Amino acid sequence: MTITQAEENYLKAIFKISEKSDKPALTNAISAVMQTTAASVTDMLKRLAEKDLISYEKYKGVQLTEEGNRLATALIRKHRLWEVFLTEKLGFAWDEVHELAEQLEHVQGNDLVGRLDAFLGHPKFDPHGDPIPDADGRWAYRKQSPLATLQAGDHGVVTGVEDHSSAFLQYLDQLGLGLGAGIELIERFPYDQSVRIRTSDNREMVLSEKVSQNLYIKTG
Amino acid sequence: MTITQAEENYLKAIFKISEKSDKPALTNAISAVMQTTAASVTDMLKRLAEKDLISYEKYKGVQLTEEGNRLATALIRKHRLWEVFLTEKLGFAWDEVHELAEQLEHVQGNDLVGRLDAFLGHPKFDPHGDPIPDADGRWAYRKQSPLATLQAGDHGVVTGVEDHSSAFLQYLDQLGLGLGAGIELIERFPYDQSVRIRTSDNREMVLSEKVSQNLYIKTG
DNA sequence: AAATATTTTTAGGTTTGTCTAAAAATATTT
DNA sequence: AAATATTTTTAGACAAACCTAAAAATATTT
Ligand SMILES: [Mn+2]
Ligand SMILES: [Mn+2]
Ligand SMILES: [Mn+2]
Ligand SMILES: [Mn+2]
Protein backbone atom coordinates (compact mmCIF):
# COMPACT_ATOMS: atom_id res chain seq x y z
CA MET A 1 0.00 0.00 0.00
CA THR A 2 2.04 2.88 -1.34
CA ILE A 3 1.09 6.51 -0.85
CA THR A 4 1.70 9.31 -3.34
CA GLN A 5 2.88 12.84 -2.63
CA ALA A 6 -0.50 14.23 -3.65
CA GLU A 7 -2.24 11.87 -1.25
CA GLU A 8 0.10 12.92 1.56
CA ASN A 9 -0.66 16.57 0.87
CA TYR A 10 -4.40 15.98 1.00
CA LEU A 11 -4.07 14.13 4.30
CA LYS A 12 -2.15 17.06 5.72
CA ALA A 13 -4.78 19.51 4.47
CA ILE A 14 -7.56 17.47 6.07
CA PHE A 15 -5.59 17.27 9.30
CA LYS A 16 -5.14 21.02 9.45
CA ILE A 17 -8.81 21.71 8.75
CA SER A 18 -9.85 19.18 11.41
CA GLU A 19 -7.56 20.84 13.95
CA LYS A 20 -9.77 23.92 14.15
CA SER A 21 -13.14 22.19 14.52
CA ASP A 22 -13.84 18.56 15.14
CA LYS A 23 -16.56 18.54 12.52
CA PRO A 24 -15.82 16.65 9.26
CA ALA A 25 -13.66 18.49 6.71
CA LEU A 26 -15.77 19.65 3.77
CA THR A 27 -14.87 19.39 0.10
CA ASN A 28 -14.74 23.13 -0.44
CA ALA A 29 -12.54 23.70 2.58
CA ILE A 30 -10.09 21.14 1.26
CA SER A 31 -10.14 22.58 -2.23
CA ALA A 32 -9.37 26.01 -0.77
CA VAL A 33 -6.32 24.72 1.12
CA MET A 34 -5.10 22.60 -1.79
CA GLN A 35 -5.75 25.24 -4.42
CA THR A 36 -7.61 22.75 -6.59
CA THR A 37 -11.21 22.46 -7.75
CA ALA A 38 -13.93 20.76 -5.75
CA ALA A 39 -14.14 18.11 -8.48
CA SER A 40 -10.48 17.20 -8.03
CA VAL A 41 -11.00 16.93 -4.29
CA THR A 42 -13.91 14.53 -4.72
CA ASP A 43 -11.70 12.38 -6.97
CA MET A 44 -9.01 12.26 -4.33
CA LEU A 45 -11.41 11.63 -1.46
CA LYS A 46 -12.56 8.47 -3.20
CA ARG A 47 -8.99 7.27 -3.49
CA LEU A 48 -8.17 8.07 0.13
CA ALA A 49 -11.36 6.35 1.31
CA GLU A 50 -10.48 3.32 -0.82
CA LYS A 51 -7.15 3.16 1.02
CA ASP A 52 -8.88 3.55 4.39
CA LEU A 53 -7.01 6.75 5.19
CA ILE A 54 -10.24 8.71 5.61
CA SER A 55 -13.85 7.91 6.34
CA TYR A 56 -15.95 9.53 3.67
CA GLU A 57 -19.67 9.92 3.45
CA LYS A 58 -20.89 11.58 0.28
CA TYR A 59 -21.90 15.20 0.81
CA LYS A 60 -21.03 14.96 4.53
CA GLY A 61 -17.30 15.60 4.47
CA VAL A 62 -14.42 13.45 5.68
CA GLN A 63 -12.43 12.52 8.75
CA LEU A 64 -8.99 10.94 9.01
CA THR A 65 -8.83 7.34 10.16
CA GLU A 66 -6.23 6.24 12.75
CA GLU A 67 -3.86 5.44 9.92
CA GLY A 68 -4.59 8.67 8.06
CA ASN A 69 -3.94 10.63 11.23
CA ARG A 70 -0.70 8.78 11.81
CA LEU A 71 0.53 9.56 8.30
CA ALA A 72 -0.48 13.22 8.47
CA THR A 73 1.26 13.62 11.82
CA ALA A 74 4.43 12.01 10.49
CA LEU A 75 4.35 14.36 7.51
CA ILE A 76 3.99 17.44 9.70
CA ARG A 77 6.83 16.16 11.87
CA LYS A 78 9.07 15.88 8.81
CA HIS A 79 8.01 19.26 7.46
CA ARG A 80 8.83 21.04 10.70
CA LEU A 81 12.10 19.24 11.29
CA TRP A 82 13.26 20.24 7.81
CA GLU A 83 12.23 23.81 8.57
CA VAL A 84 14.43 23.73 11.65
CA PHE A 85 17.29 22.36 9.55
CA LEU A 86 16.91 25.06 6.93
CA THR A 87 16.94 27.90 9.45
CA GLU A 88 19.36 26.55 12.06
CA LYS A 89 21.86 24.87 9.77
CA LEU A 90 21.57 26.55 6.38
CA GLY A 91 20.76 30.01 7.65
CA PHE A 92 17.49 30.60 5.83
CA ALA A 93 15.09 33.17 7.29
CA TRP A 94 11.86 31.93 8.83
CA ASP A 95 9.85 33.27 5.91
CA GLU A 96 11.89 31.34 3.33
CA VAL A 97 11.64 27.78 4.55
CA HIS A 98 8.06 26.68 4.04
CA GLU A 99 8.17 25.99 0.30
CA LEU A 100 11.38 24.01 0.60
CA ALA A 101 9.96 22.00 3.50
CA GLU A 102 6.89 21.24 1.38
CA GLN A 103 9.22 19.33 -0.92
CA LEU A 104 11.56 17.86 1.68
CA GLU A 105 8.71 16.43 3.76
CA HIS A 106 8.05 13.87 1.01
CA VAL A 107 11.52 12.35 1.02
CA GLN A 108 11.28 8.82 2.34
CA GLY A 109 13.98 6.61 3.72
CA ASN A 110 14.84 4.34 6.54
CA ASP A 111 15.43 6.40 9.67
CA LEU A 112 15.98 9.68 7.81
CA VAL A 113 13.59 11.50 10.12
CA GLY A 114 15.10 9.99 13.23
CA ARG A 115 18.62 10.94 12.26
CA LEU A 116 17.59 14.42 11.23
CA ASP A 117 15.78 14.85 14.54
CA ALA A 118 18.88 13.75 16.47
CA PHE A 119 21.16 15.97 14.36
CA LEU A 120 18.97 18.95 15.22
CA GLY A 121 18.93 18.07 18.92
CA HIS A 122 15.31 16.87 19.09
CA PRO A 123 13.69 20.28 18.69
CA LYS A 124 10.18 20.61 20.12
CA PHE A 125 9.14 23.63 18.04
CA ASP A 126 9.74 24.76 14.49
CA PRO A 127 10.97 28.23 13.37
CA HIS A 128 7.40 29.53 13.49
CA GLY A 129 6.82 28.28 17.01
CA ASP A 130 4.67 25.36 15.86
CA PRO A 131 5.08 22.14 17.85
CA ILE A 132 6.93 19.18 16.32
CA PRO A 133 5.27 15.84 17.16
CA ASP A 134 7.68 13.20 18.45
CA ALA A 135 8.34 9.85 16.78
CA ASP A 136 5.21 8.42 18.42
CA GLY A 137 3.04 11.29 17.23
CA ARG A 138 2.80 13.05 20.60
CA TRP A 139 2.52 16.82 20.55
CA ALA A 140 4.27 19.20 22.92
CA TYR A 141 1.75 21.53 24.46
CA ARG A 142 2.54 25.13 25.30
CA LYS A 143 0.15 27.65 26.74
CA GLN A 144 0.14 30.75 24.58
CA SER A 145 -2.42 33.40 23.77
CA PRO A 146 -2.84 35.94 21.00
CA LEU A 147 -1.46 39.32 22.04
CA ALA A 148 -4.99 40.51 21.28
CA THR A 149 -6.30 38.74 24.42
CA LEU A 150 -3.73 40.15 26.88
CA GLN A 151 -4.47 42.95 29.35
CA ALA A 152 -2.51 46.13 30.03
CA GLY A 153 0.38 45.24 32.31
CA ASP A 154 0.68 41.64 31.08
CA HIS A 155 4.08 40.62 29.85
CA GLY A 156 5.48 37.60 28.10
CA VAL A 157 7.51 36.23 25.23
CA VAL A 158 6.67 35.80 21.55
CA THR A 159 6.21 32.06 21.00
CA GLY A 160 4.30 31.74 17.74
CA VAL A 161 2.36 33.20 14.86
CA GLU A 162 -1.09 32.54 13.45
CA ASP A 163 -0.38 34.08 10.05
CA HIS A 164 2.57 32.33 8.38
CA SER A 165 2.77 34.65 5.38
CA SER A 166 6.11 36.01 4.32
CA ALA A 167 4.72 39.52 4.57
CA PHE A 168 3.84 39.10 8.24
CA LEU A 169 7.05 37.30 9.19
CA GLN A 170 9.20 39.92 7.49
CA TYR A 171 7.25 42.67 9.19
CA LEU A 172 7.90 41.05 12.56
CA ASP A 173 11.61 40.85 11.72
CA GLN A 174 11.56 44.53 10.90
CA LEU A 175 9.95 45.28 14.26
CA GLY A 176 12.41 43.03 16.07
CA LEU A 177 9.58 40.78 17.21
CA GLY A 178 10.83 37.33 16.29
CA LEU A 179 10.33 34.23 18.45
CA GLY A 180 11.70 34.82 21.93
CA ALA A 181 11.22 38.58 21.92
CA GLY A 182 10.07 39.90 25.30
CA ILE A 183 6.96 42.05 25.32
CA GLU A 184 4.90 44.03 27.82
CA LEU A 185 1.47 45.33 26.95
CA ILE A 186 1.25 48.97 28.01
CA GLU A 187 -2.21 49.88 26.78
CA ARG A 188 -4.92 49.00 24.31
CA PHE A 189 -6.66 51.82 22.44
CA PRO A 190 -10.39 51.17 22.43
CA TYR A 191 -10.88 53.13 19.21
CA ASP A 192 -9.26 50.47 16.92
CA GLN A 193 -8.01 47.85 19.37
CA SER A 194 -4.42 48.66 18.52
CA VAL A 195 -1.89 48.15 21.33
CA ARG A 196 1.16 49.92 22.65
CA ILE A 197 3.89 47.55 23.82
CA ARG A 198 7.37 47.78 25.29
CA THR A 199 10.01 45.25 24.24
CA SER A 200 12.55 43.80 26.64
CA ASP A 201 15.21 45.96 24.98
CA ASN A 202 13.09 48.91 26.00
CA ARG A 203 11.64 50.03 22.72
CA GLU A 204 8.01 51.17 22.53
CA MET A 205 5.80 50.61 19.54
CA VAL A 206 2.17 50.47 18.48
CA LEU A 207 0.81 47.34 16.82
CA SER A 208 -2.45 47.09 14.89
CA GLU A 209 -5.25 44.79 16.02
CA LYS A 210 -4.43 42.58 13.05
CA VAL A 211 -0.86 42.10 14.22
CA SER A 212 -1.98 41.50 17.81
CA GLN A 213 -4.36 38.76 16.63
CA ASN A 214 -1.65 36.98 14.69
CA LEU A 215 1.05 37.07 17.36
CA TYR A 216 1.10 34.47 20.15
CA ILE A 217 2.55 35.28 23.56
CA LYS A 218 3.44 33.06 26.46
CA THR A 219 2.73 35.12 29.54
CA GLY A 220 4.21 34.94 33.00
CA MET B 1 9.94 26.02 -19.45
CA THR B 2 9.53 23.78 -16.46
CA ILE B 3 11.24 20.43 -16.09
CA THR B 4 9.79 17.36 -14.38
CA GLN B 5 11.56 14.90 -12.09
CA ALA B 6 11.30 12.17 -14.70
CA GLU B 7 12.87 14.43 -17.30
CA GLU B 8 15.70 15.27 -14.93
CA ASN B 9 16.33 11.60 -14.31
CA TYR B 10 16.50 10.83 -18.01
CA LEU B 11 18.95 13.68 -18.56
CA LYS B 12 21.15 12.27 -15.82
CA ALA B 13 20.97 8.79 -17.33
CA ILE B 14 21.96 10.13 -20.75
CA PHE B 15 24.80 12.10 -19.18
CA LYS B 16 26.18 9.02 -17.44
CA ILE B 17 25.99 6.90 -20.59
CA SER B 18 27.69 9.64 -22.61
CA GLU B 19 30.50 9.86 -20.04
CA LYS B 20 31.87 6.45 -21.03
CA SER B 21 31.87 6.88 -24.81
CA ASP B 22 31.26 10.03 -26.77
CA LYS B 23 28.97 8.21 -29.16
CA PRO B 24 25.23 9.01 -28.93
CA ALA B 25 23.33 7.30 -26.12
CA LEU B 26 21.09 4.56 -27.51
CA THR B 27 17.49 3.87 -26.54
CA ASN B 28 18.23 0.46 -25.06
CA ALA B 29 21.12 1.75 -22.98
CA ILE B 30 18.85 4.42 -21.52
CA SER B 31 16.06 1.94 -20.84
CA ALA B 32 18.54 -0.28 -19.00
CA VAL B 33 19.67 2.57 -16.75
CA MET B 34 16.14 3.86 -16.17
CA GLN B 35 14.60 0.43 -15.68
CA THR B 36 11.84 1.23 -18.16
CA THR B 37 10.91 -0.17 -21.56
CA ALA B 38 12.40 1.05 -24.83
CA ALA B 39 8.96 2.34 -25.80
CA SER B 40 8.84 4.59 -22.73
CA VAL B 41 12.29 5.89 -23.53
CA THR B 42 11.30 6.81 -27.08
CA ASP B 43 8.32 8.71 -25.67
CA MET B 44 10.55 10.65 -23.32
CA LEU B 45 13.20 11.34 -25.95
CA LYS B 46 10.59 13.10 -28.06
CA ARG B 47 9.67 15.31 -25.12
CA LEU B 48 13.27 16.13 -24.27
CA ALA B 49 14.03 16.89 -27.92
CA GLU B 50 10.96 19.13 -28.06
CA LYS B 51 12.39 21.06 -25.11
CA ASP B 52 15.81 21.25 -26.78
CA LEU B 53 17.50 19.38 -23.96
CA ILE B 54 18.77 16.68 -26.31
CA SER B 55 19.44 16.36 -30.02
CA TYR B 56 17.63 13.31 -31.24
CA GLU B 57 17.78 11.57 -34.57
CA LYS B 58 15.45 8.61 -34.92
CA TYR B 59 17.21 5.27 -34.61
CA LYS B 60 20.56 7.04 -34.11
CA GLY B 61 20.50 7.79 -30.38
CA VAL B 62 20.71 11.09 -28.55
CA GLN B 63 23.14 13.65 -27.19
CA LEU B 64 22.64 16.32 -24.57
CA THR B 65 22.49 19.91 -25.75
CA GLU B 66 24.38 22.65 -23.87
CA GLU B 67 21.29 23.23 -21.78
CA GLY B 68 20.69 19.53 -21.21
CA ASN B 69 24.27 19.13 -20.09
CA ARG B 70 23.97 22.10 -17.76
CA LEU B 71 20.85 20.65 -16.11
CA ALA B 72 22.33 17.16 -15.78
CA THR B 73 25.48 18.56 -14.22
CA ALA B 74 23.48 20.63 -11.74
CA LEU B 75 21.49 17.55 -10.81
CA ILE B 76 24.62 15.48 -10.19
CA ARG B 77 26.01 18.32 -8.11
CA LYS B 78 22.92 18.30 -5.94
CA HIS B 79 22.87 14.53 -5.67
CA ARG B 80 26.46 14.35 -4.49
CA LEU B 81 26.19 17.27 -2.09
CA TRP B 82 23.20 15.62 -0.44
CA GLU B 83 25.19 12.38 -0.20
CA VAL B 84 27.92 14.27 1.63
CA PHE B 85 25.30 15.74 3.95
CA LEU B 86 23.80 12.35 4.71
CA THR B 87 27.14 10.75 5.56
CA GLU B 88 28.97 13.65 7.19
CA LYS B 89 26.10 15.21 9.10
CA LEU B 90 23.52 12.48 9.62
CA GLY B 91 25.95 9.60 9.98
CA PHE B 92 24.63 7.33 7.23
CA ALA B 93 27.02 4.75 5.78
CA TRP B 94 28.24 5.22 2.21
CA ASP B 95 26.07 2.37 0.98
CA GLU B 96 22.88 3.89 2.41
CA VAL B 97 22.82 7.34 0.86
CA HIS B 98 22.18 6.88 -2.84
CA GLU B 99 18.44 6.24 -2.75
CA LEU B 100 17.85 9.19 -0.44
CA ALA B 101 19.96 11.44 -2.65
CA GLU B 102 17.91 10.32 -5.66
CA GLN B 103 14.96 12.02 -3.98
CA LEU B 104 16.75 15.01 -2.46
CA GLU B 105 18.38 15.97 -5.76
CA HIS B 106 14.98 17.05 -7.10
CA VAL B 107 14.24 19.57 -4.37
CA GLN B 108 14.30 23.03 -5.88
CA GLY B 109 14.66 26.36 -4.19
CA ASN B 110 16.45 29.62 -4.34
CA ASP B 111 20.04 29.09 -3.29
CA LEU B 112 19.40 25.78 -1.52
CA VAL B 113 22.35 24.15 -3.29
CA GLY B 114 24.66 27.07 -2.62
CA ARG B 115 23.85 27.11 1.08
CA LEU B 116 24.14 23.37 1.40
CA ASP B 117 27.51 23.50 -0.36
CA ALA B 118 28.73 26.19 2.03
CA PHE B 119 27.39 24.33 5.07
CA LEU B 120 29.34 21.25 4.00
CA GLY B 121 32.53 23.27 3.42
CA HIS B 122 32.50 23.13 -0.39
CA PRO B 123 33.39 19.45 -0.70
CA LYS B 124 35.06 18.40 -3.96
CA PHE B 125 34.21 14.70 -3.75
CA ASP B 126 31.23 12.70 -2.57
CA PRO B 127 31.28 9.72 -0.16
CA HIS B 128 32.06 7.39 -3.06
CA GLY B 129 34.97 9.47 -4.27
CA ASP B 130 33.04 10.89 -7.21
CA PRO B 131 33.77 14.52 -8.06
CA ILE B 132 31.22 17.23 -7.26
CA PRO B 133 30.99 19.84 -10.02
CA ASP B 134 31.14 23.43 -8.77
CA ALA B 135 28.39 26.02 -9.21
CA ASP B 136 29.65 26.73 -12.74
CA GLY B 137 29.66 23.05 -13.69
CA ARG B 138 33.42 22.60 -13.53
CA TRP B 139 34.70 19.19 -12.47
CA ALA B 140 37.61 18.53 -10.15
CA TYR B 141 40.00 16.13 -11.81
CA ARG B 142 41.97 13.54 -9.88
CA LYS B 143 44.30 10.98 -11.34
CA GLN B 144 43.33 7.53 -10.13
CA SER B 145 43.62 4.02 -11.58
CA PRO B 146 41.90 0.73 -10.91
CA LEU B 147 43.91 -1.41 -8.52
CA ALA B 148 43.85 -3.94 -11.38
CA THR B 149 46.25 -1.78 -13.40
CA LEU B 150 48.90 -1.32 -10.67
CA GLN B 151 52.22 -3.18 -10.56
CA ALA B 152 53.79 -5.06 -7.65
CA GLY B 153 55.47 -2.50 -5.41
CA ASP B 154 53.09 0.34 -6.30
CA HIS B 155 51.38 2.00 -3.39
CA GLY B 156 48.65 4.54 -3.00
CA VAL B 157 45.36 5.50 -1.41
CA VAL B 158 41.79 4.35 -2.09
CA THR B 159 40.05 7.28 -3.78
CA GLY B 160 37.01 5.80 -5.47
CA VAL B 161 34.89 2.86 -6.60
CA GLU B 162 33.57 1.76 -9.97
CA ASP B 163 30.86 -0.49 -8.55
CA HIS B 164 28.51 1.51 -6.29
CA SER B 165 26.47 -1.47 -5.11
CA SER B 166 25.71 -1.85 -1.44
CA ALA B 167 27.24 -5.34 -1.54
CA PHE B 168 30.58 -4.03 -2.76
CA LEU B 169 30.67 -1.03 -0.44
CA GLN B 170 29.84 -3.13 2.59
CA TYR B 171 32.48 -5.66 1.62
CA LEU B 172 35.05 -2.87 1.45
CA ASP B 173 33.97 -1.68 4.90
CA GLN B 174 34.45 -5.19 6.19
CA LEU B 175 37.95 -5.27 4.73
CA GLY B 176 38.74 -1.83 6.14
CA LEU B 177 39.22 -0.46 2.64
CA GLY B 178 37.12 2.69 2.67
CA LEU B 179 38.13 5.94 0.99
CA GLY B 180 41.53 7.08 2.24
CA ALA B 181 42.81 3.61 3.10
CA GLY B 182 46.52 3.20 2.26
CA ILE B 183 47.43 0.24 0.09
CA GLU B 184 50.58 -1.38 -1.30
CA LEU B 185 50.38 -4.02 -4.01
CA ILE B 186 52.62 -6.91 -3.02
CA GLU B 187 52.00 -9.35 -5.87
CA ARG B 188 49.53 -10.36 -8.53
CA PHE B 189 48.81 -14.03 -9.05
CA PRO B 190 48.82 -14.78 -12.79
CA TYR B 191 46.48 -17.74 -12.33
CA ASP B 192 43.36 -15.63 -11.62
CA GLN B 193 44.69 -12.07 -11.50
CA SER B 194 43.96 -11.81 -7.80
CA VAL B 195 46.26 -9.54 -5.82
CA ARG B 196 47.92 -9.57 -2.42
CA ILE B 197 48.04 -6.15 -0.78
CA ARG B 198 49.30 -4.65 2.46
CA THR B 199 47.30 -1.89 4.12
CA SER B 200 48.92 1.09 5.86
CA ASP B 201 47.93 -0.46 9.21
CA ASN B 202 50.00 -3.43 8.18
CA ARG B 203 47.40 -6.01 7.40
CA GLU B 204 47.81 -8.31 4.42
CA MET B 205 44.95 -9.61 2.35
CA VAL B 206 44.13 -11.11 -1.02
CA LEU B 207 41.59 -9.41 -3.27
CA SER B 208 39.89 -10.96 -6.30
CA GLU B 209 40.35 -9.54 -9.79
CA LYS B 210 36.74 -8.32 -9.60
CA VAL B 211 37.48 -6.27 -6.50
CA SER B 212 40.71 -4.92 -7.99
CA GLN B 213 38.85 -3.75 -11.08
CA ASN B 214 36.26 -1.90 -9.04
CA LEU B 215 38.62 -0.12 -6.65
CA TYR B 216 40.37 3.11 -7.67
CA ILE B 217 43.74 4.04 -6.25
CA LYS B 218 45.66 7.27 -6.38
CA THR B 219 49.33 6.25 -6.54
CA GLY B 220 52.43 8.12 -5.43
C1' DA C 1 -43.51 24.67 1.26
C1' DA C 2 -41.51 26.53 -2.82
C1' DA C 3 -38.08 28.89 -4.88
C1' DT C 4 -33.39 30.03 -4.94
C1' DA C 5 -28.62 29.61 -3.82
C1' DT C 6 -24.74 26.92 -2.57
C1' DT C 7 -22.16 22.81 -2.30
C1' DT C 8 -20.86 18.50 -3.98
C1' DT C 9 -20.65 14.95 -7.25
C1' DT C 10 -20.59 13.05 -11.90
C1' DA C 11 -19.28 12.98 -16.73
C1' DG C 12 -16.00 13.55 -19.89
C1' DG C 13 -11.31 15.35 -21.13
C1' DT C 14 -6.11 16.41 -20.72
C1' DT C 15 -1.15 15.62 -19.51
C1' DT C 16 2.55 12.85 -17.74
C1' DG C 17 4.74 8.72 -17.62
C1' DT C 18 4.35 4.25 -17.90
C1' DC C 19 3.09 -0.40 -20.26
C1' DT C 20 2.41 -4.43 -24.16
C1' DA C 21 2.13 -5.85 -28.78
C1' DA C 22 2.97 -4.99 -33.46
C1' DA C 23 5.40 -2.67 -37.18
C1' DA C 24 9.44 -0.62 -39.11
C1' DA C 25 14.29 0.18 -39.39
C1' DT C 26 18.91 -1.35 -38.79
C1' DA C 27 22.52 -4.81 -38.01
C1' DT C 28 24.32 -9.45 -38.40
C1' DT C 29 24.71 -13.90 -40.27
C1' DT C 30 24.58 -17.11 -43.78
C1' DA D 1 22.23 -10.52 -51.46
C1' DA D 2 18.88 -12.82 -48.68
C1' DA D 3 17.50 -14.33 -44.53
C1' DT D 4 17.50 -13.66 -39.77
C1' DA D 5 18.09 -11.23 -35.53
C1' DT D 6 18.12 -7.10 -32.94
C1' DT D 7 16.85 -2.50 -32.00
C1' DT D 8 13.76 1.16 -32.23
C1' DT D 9 9.48 3.25 -33.07
C1' DT D 10 4.47 3.38 -33.36
C1' DA D 11 -0.16 2.28 -31.83
C1' DG D 12 -3.16 1.83 -28.36
C1' DA D 13 -4.06 1.43 -23.35
C1' DC D 14 -3.89 2.67 -18.39
C1' DA D 15 -3.39 5.16 -13.76
C1' DA D 16 -2.69 9.49 -11.31
C1' DA D 17 -3.96 14.00 -10.82
C1' DC D 18 -5.76 17.58 -12.50
C1' DC D 19 -9.49 20.40 -15.29
C1' DT D 20 -14.52 22.39 -17.03
C1' DA D 21 -19.34 21.94 -17.48
C1' DA D 22 -23.49 19.86 -16.11
C1' DA D 23 -26.31 17.34 -12.82
C1' DA D 24 -27.65 16.21 -8.22
C1' DA D 25 -27.95 17.00 -3.37
C1' DT D 26 -28.23 20.06 0.43
C1' DA D 27 -28.97 24.56 2.64
C1' DT D 28 -31.09 29.06 2.81
C1' DT D 29 -34.47 32.42 1.81
C1' DT D 30 -38.86 33.95 0.79
MN1 LIG E 1 5.75 25.27 6.90
MN1 LIG F 1 6.46 25.99 10.25
MN1 LIG G 1 24.54 8.27 -5.68
MN1 LIG H 1 27.88 9.04 -4.96
Listing DSSP states for B85-127 in one string gives IIIIIT---TTTSHHHHHHHTT---TTHHHHHHHHTT--SB-T
Chain A contact present for B38, CB below 8 A: no
Phi-psi region of B67 (alpha: psi -120 to 50; beta: other; left: phi over 0): alpha
What confidence tier does B129 reach under pLDDT thresholds 50, 70, 90? very high
Minimum distance, in Å, between the CA of residue A77 and any CA atom of chain B: 17
pTM: 0.95
Question: Closest Cα to residue B61, out of B26, B17, B32?
Answer: B26
Q: At what angle do helices A5-20 and A66-84 cross, to 10 degrees?
A: 100
Q: How would you write the pLDDT of chain A (220 residues) with one tens digit per residue?
A: 899 999 999 999 999 999 999 899 999 999 999 999 999 999 999 999 999 999 999 999 999 999 999 999 999 999 999 999 999 999 999 999 999 999 999 999 999 999 999 999 999 999 999 999 999 999 999 999 999 999 999 999 999 999 999 999 999 999 999 999 999 999 999 999 999 999 999 999 999 999 999 999 999 8
Residue A210 to residues A81, A109, A164, A186, A194: CA-CA distances in angstroms? Answer: 29, 41, 13, 17, 8
Residue A217 to residues A95, A142, A151: CA-CA distances in angstroms? Answer: 19, 10, 12
- Hey, which bits of chain B come out as E strands? 54-57, 61-64, 145-146, 155-161, 182-189, 194-199, 204-207, 215-219
Chain A contact present for B110, CB below 8 A: yes
Long-range pairs, B34-42, Cβ under 8 A, ≥24: B34/B9, B34/B10, B41/B10
The length of chain A is: 220
Interchain CB distance below 8 Å, A100 and B89: no
Domains and CATH numbers, chain A: 5-64 (1.10.10.10), 76-141 (1.10.10.10), 145-219 (2.30.30.90)
Residues above pLDDT 90, as percent of chain B? 98
For an interface test with A, the pick among B112, B113, B116, B120 (most A C-beta atoms closer than 10 Å) comes out as B112
Query: Of the candidates A91, A103, A119, which has its C-beta nearest B115's C-beta?
Result: A91
- Identify the nearest ligand to the CA of B101 by its number: 3
- Which are the contacts of B217, defined by CB distance < 8 A and separation ≥ 6? B144, B145, B146, B147, B150, B154, B156, B157, B158, B159, B183
Interchain CB distance below 8 Å, B96 and A110: yes
Is residue B1 predicted with pLDDT exceeding 90?
no
Interchain CB distance below 8 Å, B108 and A103: yes
CA distance A207 to A193: 9
The protein footprint on chain C, as nucleotides within 7 A of a CB, is 7-12, 16-22, 25-26
